[in-house]
Amino acid sequence: MSCESLRPSPACVLGALLAASLVAPRAEAQLEDVRIEGVPDYEWHAGCFGTATGNLMGFWDRNGFPEFYTGPTGGGVAPLNSRASQGNQGIFSLWASKAGRDGRPANLPGHEDDYYVDYESVSADPFRVAGRREHVPDCLGDFIGLSQDKWADLGGECRGNIDGFSYVHWDRSAARRWARPGREPSIPDGSDIASGLVTWTRFRGGEASSFCQLADFNPKVTGGAGFTYADLKTEIRAGRPVLLFMQPNDELSRPLAGVARVNPDIHGMLAYGYWVGDDGTPYVRYRTSWASGDQMLSPWTAAPWLPGTLGFPLRGVIGYQPLPRIRSIRREGAEVVLSWDGSAAVVRDATAGERRQAQRFVVERAGSPEAAVWTPVSEPMEALEFREQAPAGGDMFYRVRSVPVW
């Protein structure tokens, strides 16, 4: 694990070593083995949820949304790793921009310059100490509240955020809370991971849906509510990696370095597959946020997912889906031609020996953008372009909808 000059706590380092022992059971003893292909595995840098969301958006940049990362690293395509030996550490700027890194001018402060001192630091944000204006948000960490000491109270649980930490505003009933940035009066702007992912996507010129939900086995959840293993399988089959929010069940805040009610211990990871053993035990395949490799599995139970010092169970998940983005509508002779960005995620079922594109696209049109009914004008297709004979009459509006294949 390489963290440049940013030092994770001993717990972080020990957790990385312990997690390496969580490998799959015997490869032949499986009922289901399904995973999303091409999910990056970046090293920890400036916070676990910064890294986890970097893995998420690096995946989408590689799989249908090329405007998510546009820096010079990897020739403008998010790499699969962040190895310094391959010149890939500039990808850290996807979630933590910094003066002088990844093509950023050396005199232009970024996320790390304005908010980060050291892992778990409770010091004031550096931009305040320096008496300068903070930079305009430009990376994932800026939008999800990472390391930003701005809020006296988050959800009645803690103040936030200390360096390397983020927060999620859960629906305590265990219902799925869909992010609605700008329409969430009880949620301070910029303080929530799910809402921040949506506003970051808008910053990148797109649109997305995102939700958070407590896990069904969380001890605070009753009555069969919460995010289930079946829900996880649905997201994976649809080609959508899921963020995992790990947190001790009995800790909503803690004192640290003489400061009361700071963020609790947490860890962020990214689920990209599921594995069911021959005994029926359901496992989750995930990126640890420590570049630990492909064979990381833990059972979908209340037991701690990471043993030893980082013995945190799963509190809940954050789901995310970027929506198709129409890039152009043009006339070519008598035809209307549409092109768009959309999910190119591929899912592999190792047990069945199959791989398939997870989403297809349906083009719809209507006479008004506010129309209650839109008419499908295409069959579900994998292509990112559609053409049809230009309809007669007045103005016509088009939209593209993605539909899961599996």
Domain-wise residue ranges, the chain: 10-322, 325-404
Q: State yes or no: pLDDT of 8 exceeds 90.
A: no
User: 41-45, 141-145, 246-250: which has the minimum mean pLDDT?
Assistant: 246-250
Does pLDDT of 307 surpass 70? Answer: no
- Return the residue matching tokens 């929530």: 192
Tokens found for residue 4 = 């440049």
Tell me the mean pLDDT in the region 74-96: 98
Helical segments of 238-371, H only: none
Output the CATH code of domain 325-404: 2.60.40
What are the b/e assignments for 220-232, b being 16+ CB within 10 Å? Answer: ebeeebbbbbebb
How do residues 384-403 score in pLDDT, each as one tens digit? 999 999 998 788 999 999 99
pTM of the model: 0.93
How would residue 120 be classed by pLDDT, with cut points 50, 70 and 90? very high
Q: Say if residue 4's pLDDT is above 60.
A: no
The Cα–Cα gap between 62 and 67 comes to 10
Secondary structure string (H, E, C) spanning 271-302: EEEEEEECCCCEEEEEECCCCCCCCCEEECCC
Contact 60, 311 (CB under 8 A): no
What's the pLDDT score for residue 128?
97
Mean pLDDT of 111-139: 98
**pLDDT for the residue 308:** 58
| pLDDT exceeds cutoff 50 at 156 | yes
- Identify the band that residue 309 occupies on the pLDDT scale cut at 50, 70 and 90: low
Q: What is the pLDDT of residue 7?
A: 37
**How crowded is residue 142: how many other Cβ atoms within 10 Å of its Cβ?**
26
| Burial state string for 2-13 with b = 16 or more CB within 10 A and e = fewer than 16 | ebbebebeebbb
Which of 300, 371, 248 minimizes the C-alpha distance to 32? 300
Q: Report which DSSP code applies to 184.
A: -
Spatial contact of 138 and 97, defined as CB atoms under 8 Å apart: yes
> Using one digit for the tens of pLDDT, what is the confidence trace for 219-238?
999 888 999 999 999 999 99
| Separation of alpha carbons 50 and 65, rounded Å | 19
Mean pLDDT of the chain: 92
Confidence of residue 30 (pLDDT cuts 50, 70, 90): low
Name the strand (E) or helix (H) holding 386: strand 385-389
Average pLDDT over residues 332-343: 96
Calculate what percentage of the chain has a pLDDT beyond 70.
Answer: 92
29 — pLDDT class (breaks 50, 70, 90): low
